Amino acid sequence: MSKTKSVYICQSCSFQSAKLLGKCPSCNEWNTFVEETFTKSNSSSSGKSLVQNLKPVRLSEIEGNNFTRINTHIDELNRVLGGGIVPGSVVLIGGEPGIGKSTLMLQLALQFNNLTVLYISGEESLYQIKLRANRIKNANENLLVLNETSLESVINNIETIKPDLVVVDSIQTIQTDSLESIPGSISQIKECTNLLLKCAKHHSIPIFLVGHINKDGHIAGPKALEHIVDVVLQFEGDLSNQYRILRTLKNRFGPTSEIGIFEMFSDGLHEVINPSELLLSQHDDFYSGTAVGSSLEGNRPLLIEVQALVGNSPYGTPQRTTNGFDSRRMNMLLAVLEKRMGIKVSGKDVFLNIAGGIKINDTGIDLAVISAIISSGFDSSIAKKICFAGEVSLTGEVRQVSKIEQRIREAEKLGFESMMISKFSIKKESIKSKLKLITISNVSEIPKLIL
């Protein structure tokens, strides 16, 4: 006989409680508990057909080298996946609504003429998908489209059709009969992902799952899901800007922190081959408060324009706003300016913007940020053909950054004449470069060099 059990589950961190709580004791979020009911005899039966009596195998007997990745024919996507799609892998792609997840997935599905692709949508009707496919134009007439939200039917279809690739848009709309909770609840999402993962591994069919993100920017149903899948990609960007960045957050088959850059057009997403050229402004005038920094995203050097605006604060509490850069890190750099260089910024408004709507996590951009702030503070522009690469420590010391050679090559390629780097970057490797390398060891040396 089946036994029904009801628990309250925090939709943010999956903490379970026997009674309804206002505040989650685990993640401290308010009003996140939802009652979910489990029927004991059914909850695991749906996965049974996939379970075999497995025995351990010697490592040496496992064939390891012979899997071939599927080429997606989208270089930027191949890059973030670590060189293509691994058979049997489950890839979760998250992002804000409207960022272009469905567009990217449909573009991927339409790339293949010789492979069977099954595109399952629980969000859009077949007509809507057809309209979108018409916009993208690259029509693969053999694409199989299914409008379905029942997990059992999805798995049935995968097992009968045996496609080469499956896309599920989105995991939050899929629902299994074995749980009574509503679609999109944390137990539904986890159970559906688990069963799809088993199906992917069992039949060696790669599956892409689209996932919505919640208001904090996490994939809804959140970290729990990231543990289950093989690859987590995040699609991000400023909705008012055409650039979109696909970032690897987790990859069991390749490097993380790789990025792919796309541009949204009326006929879908286009790859951006030379991002640095686009991210630098095209103006010829010299403005104060801009500095070009060298950042490294994954293995990819990017030159980006950092813009700072420093002004007198009309209010008691000065405003500090950043766009594309960690605001705590900017506050730290402002404290370094004040303490180590005696530049007064405490009563000033400081705004910082990374051009192109891109988000930077690399600390190698510190030197450019601090230079842009100094330039705006003194209202004196920095020479146009210089760029910066260095991390700034609390002592004001300029520290070396990783892969300096690659950064220098990128700057050379884009016609820069000089680059300011940490003097410790030079010691380790003798760098041959057409660039004039300006080496410094402390931030206090910056003003006389740039102004």
Which partner in ligand TYD, Mg ion, none is near 97 (CB below 5 to 8 A by kind)?
ligand TYD
Tokens describing residue 58: 């010697």
Is residue 314 classed exposed, middle or buried when 0-12, 13-18 and 19+ CB atoms within 10 A define those classes? exposed
Tell me how far apart the alpha carbons of residues 2 and 396 are, in angstroms, rounded to a whole number. Answer: 66
Residue 122 interacts with, from Mg ion, ligand TYD, none (CB under 5-8 Å by kind): none
Is the Cβ of residue 53 or residue 266 nearer to ligand TYD in the bound state?
A: 266
**Does 277 contact ligand TYD by CB under 6 A?**
no
| 8 A C-beta contact, residue 378 and residue 288 | yes
Within 58-97, the residues that bind ligand TYD by CB under 6 A are 95, 97
For the sheet containing 231-236, what is the strand order? 144-147, 117-121, 165-169, 207-212, 90-95, 231-236, 243-251, 259-265, 268-271
Minimal distance in Å, beta carbon 108 to ligand TYD?
12
CB of 155 to ligand TYD, least distance (A): 23
Nearest C-alpha neighbor of 172 from the set 219, 217, 227, 229: 219
Residue 212 binds which of Mg ion, ligand TYD, none (CB < 5-8 A, kind-dependent)? none
- Asked if 102 interacts with Mg ion (CB under 5 A), we say yes
Considering beta carbons, is residue 104 or 358 the nearer one to ligand TYD?
104
The DSSP symbol for 48 reads G
Q: How far is the CB of 343 from ligand TYD (least distance, A)?
A: 43
Question: Please, what's the largest Cα pairwise distance for the chain?
Answer: 81
Helix, strand and coil in the chain, % to nearest 5? 30, 30, 40
Count the residues of the shown chain that bind Mg ion, applying the rule CB under 5 A. Answer: 1
Bridge pairing between strands 391-392 and 144-147: unpaired
SS3 148: coil
Segment interacting with Mg ion (CB under 5 A) among 73-81, 96-104, 280-288, 310-318: 96-104
CB of 236 to ligand TYD, least distance (A): 11
Q: Does the protein bind ligand TYD through residue 246 (CB under 6 A)?
A: no
58 vs 137, beta carbon nearer ligand TYD: 137
Which part of the chain contacts ligand TYD (CB under 6 A), choosing from 246-254, 261-269, 371-379, 410-418?
261-269
Q: Is position 270 an interface residue for ligand TYD (rule: CB under 6 A)?
A: no
Size of the site for ligand TYD (CB under 6 A): 15
Question: Is cis: bond before 170, omega within 30 of 0?
Answer: yes
Choice from 82, 84, 94, 100 touching ligand TYD (CB under 6 A): 100
Quickly count: other Cβ atoms within 10 Å of residue 299's Cβ.
12
CB 430 within 8 A of CB 406: no
The least CB distance from residue 169 to Mg ion, in Å, is 6
Closest CA to 291 of 440, 119, 400, 416: 416
By a kind-dependent CB cut-off of 5 to 8 A, residue 103 interacts, out of ligand TYD, Mg ion, none, with ligand TYD
- Minimal distance, residue 355 CB to ligand TYD, in Å: 21
276 part of the interface to Mg ion, by CB under 5 A:
no
Q: Which residues bind to ligand TYD, rule: CB under 6 A?
A: 95, 97-103, 132, 135-136, 264, 266-268
Residues that bind Mg ion (CB under 5 A): 102
